[in-house]
């Protein structure tokens, strides 16, 4: 039997999908046959993304919920919406993330808590809600993919809480993969390197010296496109990846191979 990577039929929740990498992930899942529940923090931005995706795939294949993934009610609502609208849930992509770049000595407690809240708790809660739904329904299987980062493995100045949150994501993947394997639930992560699209409000990458450093230390010599980051998420949710769990897949142009 040939295991196909070109079909991801079923229903997927994608957090942080109103822009950037998350929006590209949603576009790729739709292109490969999925129906999607998208999520963003900002209602207007989420509505705009929903319109763009329905133009791509049709209103019957896209539904959205705007909310803060660091809050339990948002994760419960996303899972409930998947079952109410589509009658099933097959994959969850925990992609929402934020960052503030500054020296470690300058971070305030509120900034630390907010970054860890969105990036780590906001990854765990949707995964937890999906797993609970699958186990309660007696469903065998289900794919969960978290978004990690090269900052989980390489020290990068100015990213203390972000790097800590992504290191936590990597360990969370391993713990959940082991704990939920008896239920057939797979848990993995994609760890992007530097991407052409950057987070809102991050301006440091406009510095030519920063760009030169990125190109120098990335063996492939360039940033990734959002499409190059999105495609591995499709692979990990596809039938070709049914024996992969507990993995953190580096998609970084070789940055962490050195």
Domains of the chain: 10-250 (3.40.50.720)
> Among residues 65, 83, 107, 162, which one is catalytic?
162
Average predicted confidence (pLDDT) for the chain: 93
Confidence of residue 200 (pLDDT cuts 50, 70, 90): very low
Residue 129, Cβ neighbours under 10 Å: how many?
A: 21
Cβ neighbors of 227 (< 8 A, separation 6 or more) are: 24, 28
pLDDT at residue 33 is higher than 80: yes
Q: What percent of the chain has pLDDT over 70?
A: 93
- pLDDT tens-place string over residues 139-185: 999 999 999 999 999 888 889 999 999 999 999 999 999 999 999 99
Residue 200, Cβ neighbours under 10 Å: how many?
A: 10
Q: Is 162 a catalytic residue?
A: yes
What pTM value is reported for the model? 0.93
Residue 11, Cβ neighbours under 10 Å: how many?
A: 21
pLDDT at residue 1 is higher than 80: no
């Amino acid at each position: 039997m040939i295991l196909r990577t070109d079909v991801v039929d079923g229903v997927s929740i994608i957090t942080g999908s109103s822009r950037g990498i998350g929006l590209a992930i949603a576009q790729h899942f739709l292109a490969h046959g999925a129906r999607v529940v998208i999520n963003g923090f900002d209602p207007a931005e989420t509505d705009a993304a929903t319109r763009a995706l329905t133009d791509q795939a049709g209103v019957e294949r896209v539904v959205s919920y705007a909310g803060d993934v660091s809050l339990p009610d948002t994760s419960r609502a996303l899972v409930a919406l998947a079952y109410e609208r589509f009658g099933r849930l097959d994959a969850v992509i925990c992609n929402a993330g934020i960052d503030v770049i500054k020296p470690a000595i300058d971070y305030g407690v509120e900034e630390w808590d907010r970054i860890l809240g969105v990036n780590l708790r906001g990854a765990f809660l949707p995964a937890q809600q999906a797993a609970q739904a699958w186990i309660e329904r007696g469903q065998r299987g289900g794919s969960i993919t978290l978004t990690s980062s090269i900052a989980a493995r390489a020290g990068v100045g100015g990213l203390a809480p972000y790097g800590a949150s992504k290191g936590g994501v990597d360990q969370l993947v391993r713990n959940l993969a082991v704990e939920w394997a008896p239920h057939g639930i797979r848990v993995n992560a994609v760890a992007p390197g530097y991407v052409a699209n950057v987070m809102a409000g991050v301006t440091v990458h406009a510095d030519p010296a920063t760009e030169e450093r990125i190109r120098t230390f990335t063996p492939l010599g360039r940033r990734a496109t959002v499409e190059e980051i999105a495609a591995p998420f499709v692979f990990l949710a596809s039938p070709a990846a049914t024996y992969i769990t507990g993995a953190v897949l580096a998609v970084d142009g070789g940055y962490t191979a050195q």
